[in-house]
Amino acid sequence: EPEVTQTPSHQVTQMGQEVILRCVPISNHLYFYWYRQILGQKVEFLVSFYNNEISEKSEIFDDQFSVERPDGSNFTLKIRSTKLEDSAMYFCASSREDSLNQPQHFGDGTRLSIL
């Protein structure tokens, strides 16, 4: 069964550095999402992306964050000038259609540790 793949599985970065988290959504999916889960807390929505532009974003997704679909297969989340509180598990998800009717399929996540 096709799946969403995320790399790396674990990223350790010094505070203030930039990180790029990578995702390969399921090939025929059109909607893409990023979520994060701080240890012990709820999964939180960051951003959704469709037709090469952001369709929704949360309060968390400020100017520090950006997303890009640089080619036909990858979907990336860039975090500039990382802070300690950015440490979390970051999940990428995709859906074939709008989530009104189709479930989102999640990757296994990237654990980001900011030192």
Partner 1 sequence: KQEVTQIPAALSVPEGENLVLNCSFTDSAIYNLQWFRQDPGKGLTSLLLIQSSQREQTSGRLNASLDKSSGRSTLYIAASQPGDSATYLCAVLETALIFGKGTTLSVSS
The pattern of x and - marking residues 87 through 106 that bind partner 1 according to CB under 8 A reads ----x-x-----xxxxxxxx
Residue number, 20 or 38, with CB nearest to partner 1 = 38
Nearest one of 64, 74, 59, 60 to 18, comparing CA atoms: 64
84 three-class SS: helix
Do residues 93 and 32 lie in contact, with contact meaning Cβ atoms separated by under 8 Å? yes
Q: From the CB of 16, what's the least distance to partner 1, in Å?
A: 28
Q: Kindly state the tokens that stand for 90.
A: 């970051």
Residues that bind partner 1 in the complex, under the rule CB under 8 A: 4, 6, 33, 35, 41-45, 48, 56, 58, 91, 93, 99-109
